[in-house]
Amino acid sequence: MATYNRPGVFVEETLKPLVDPNSNSSDFVAAFVGTSSAGGPVGPVLLTSWSQYQSLYGNIRQTQNDDLGYAVFSFFSNGGSRAYVCRSIKAGATSASLALLDTDPDGAGPGVAEAVATVTAKSPGVWASDAASNARVFVTVTPGSLGRFDLGIDVGSGPGLLARETFLDLTLDPTDDRNAVTIVNSPTVGSKYVTLSLTATGAFGVDFINPTAVAAAPLAGGSDGTGAVDHQTAVERLSAISANVTVNLPGVTSSAVLTDVIDWAQGTGNVFVVVDAPKPSPTDTPATVSSAALALAAALPAVSQVAVYAPWLYIQDPASGTTGALRLTAPGGAVLGQFARSDATRSVAKAPAGTGTTLGGVVQVATLFDSAALDSLNLAGVNVIRPVPGAGLCIMGARTLAKGMPDRYINVRRTLLYFTRELTNLTNFAIFETNDSVLWSHINTILGQYLTSQFQAGLLSGSSVNEAFYVKCDADNNDQVSINAGIVNIEVGLAVHSPAEFIVIQIGLFDGTAVVTDSTGI
């Protein structure tokens, strides 16, 4: 408080945090983790279009198990707008590279070539050097005068060119503002595909000449590593993302791998996991496909941060030059696209299922289940995609693996994740404030205003504000022991929407005097 030494009126301003009136739950962020046959950055990389994926990770390769590429394609085909990609790699994977030579290292005429700099692919694997890769990286060096040169980076070649980067008027002089290493490695204006390192010995001077000319030379070396693909390390790179993330590992059905991912997701508090059911073989019957999906669901932790989807889907193959060619793909990409679409048009409180989730670009499901299988799958928490008359192929399940709990529904768990993040952000201001009744009152007011706006927007259930939520932060739950420990206890209760999962119609025969009923479930 200010000190006042003379009589008068003094005005002090006290500004409280405001609830953002534009806050909504439609800022859906997806994430895909898996291997890419054409390489690309390990990530996480935020993509906002399918063309961005192609420029960074290459075109889908039909001859490879490119589940990651097909999942991202299906995501954008079904209404998705933002997705992170993390590329999984094997242990010991190394990056391809190319040494840039100075053929006149001592300035006394042509002599023994010295490697003055090295261009290295940003991510490991043989993709950048493999002649069969459509994302192979080529380097062009055009020498200029006074130690200057231009550097060109091509990803792909000829009609298969995916991207081209050009860096002009560079120098290897470390004291120059046009220093090549600084510019090429810049996180803002640098290369998306390679890094540059200085390998020359000695000080830069008249005898230190720019790299010799190089004409579209490919990177060499690089290794995909050995052993199993390390999906867990790739997934954990998503820890750098503060937003709530829904992650899918396309085509990954190992219960051991997925259990580790789900355990990690529970620990983060901001991750929801979508799991693909096992891929069917050409000889599998609906019964064996159902059994495989049930077995996978049973082998995973029975928690609400995970949902399983079946069956696999047939889409028109974007990698085929033949119109109408079909490809069998995992369902996760299309499902996450529908999550994004549902969040944007309705809200996170709406279950991402029903006749409003007609899948885009999907020709047919790989398996049609009978009624008995549909019953078993739904009760086990496996969400089935199936044809619905008049609507098309729709997601007709909205369950997590938390059986018998209020958060057995996907929208309930995702709504709780959403409010957890929002309430955390809204109460950050209270850290290091004086822990007394004034602070508690401010917290009650701010959270009350925010939750009222969310109730009015339809994210909370109830016919009134009093039925939709409550906030308690006062002397009852903040005694002197808590105050001395530096703790502010805030209790929040939320009435969250549950979906109408079963529609029961009672049909009766009416003859004017009596009614005979028959219940029909849809």
Q: How many Cβ atoms are within 10 Å of 384's Cβ, its own excluded?
A: 25
Cα–Cα separations (whole angstroms), residue 256 to 133, 380, 505, 512:
31, 19, 43, 63
43's torsion region: left (phi>0), alpha (psi -120 to 50) or beta? left
Identity at 22, one-letter amino acid code: N
**CA–CA separation, 369 vs 378, rounded Å?**
12
410's tokens: 């996907």
Among 15-19, 59-63, 288-292, name the one with the lowest average pLDDT.
Answer: 15-19
Query: What pLDDT is recorded for position 209?
Result: 62
Output the pTM of the full model.
Answer: 0.80
The tens digit of pLDDT for each residue in 325-335 reads 999 999 999 99
- What does the pLDDT average to over 490-503? 86
162: Cβ–Cβ under 8 A, 6 or more apart, which residues? 54, 55, 58, 59, 134, 135, 155, 156
Give the 3-state secondary structure of residue 481. Answer: helix
Tell me the sheet residues that pair with 217. 139
20: Cβ–Cβ under 8 A, 6 or more apart, which residues? none
The tens digit of pLDDT for each residue in 327-366 reads 999 999 999 999 999 999 999 999 999 999 999 999 999 9
Tell me the domains of the chain and their CATH numbers.
30-90+227-411 (3.40.50.11780), 97-218 (no CATH), 435-522 (no CATH)
Query: What pLDDT is recorded for position 404?
Result: 83
**CA–CA separation, 49 vs 80, rounded Å?**
9
The tens digit of pLDDT for each residue in 97-148 reads 999 988 665 554 445 567 889 999 988 988 888 887 777 899 999 998 877 8
* 41 alpha carbon, distance to own chain's centre: 15
Query: What pLDDT is recorded for position 9?
Result: 65
DSSP notation for 311-355:
--EEEE-TT-SSTT-EEEE-SHHHHHHHHHHHHHHT-TTS-S-ST
Among 202-211, 251-260, 286-295, 489-498, name the one with the lowest average pLDDT.
Answer: 202-211
326's tokens: 């079909």
Cis peptide before 44 (omega within 30 of 0): yes
- What does the pLDDT average to over 306-326? 92
Phi then psi for residue 121, to 5 deg, are: -60, 140
Residue 200 has pLDDT above 80, yes or no: no
Q: Give the CB-side neighbour count of residue 154, counting CA atoms within 13 A.
A: 17
445: Cβ–Cβ under 8 A, 6 or more apart, which residues? 16
What 8-state DSSP symbol labels residue 383?
Answer: E
Residue 394 has pLDDT above 70, yes or no: yes
CB 380 within 8 A of CB 295: no
The tens digit of pLDDT for each residue in 158-186 reads 877 888 999 999 998 888 899 999 999 99
**CA–CA separation, 70 vs 38, rounded Å?**
13
Query: What pLDDT is recorded for position 88?
Result: 92
The tens digit of pLDDT for each residue in 262-280 reads 999 999 989 999 999 999 9
* 347 alpha carbon, distance to own chain's centre: 18
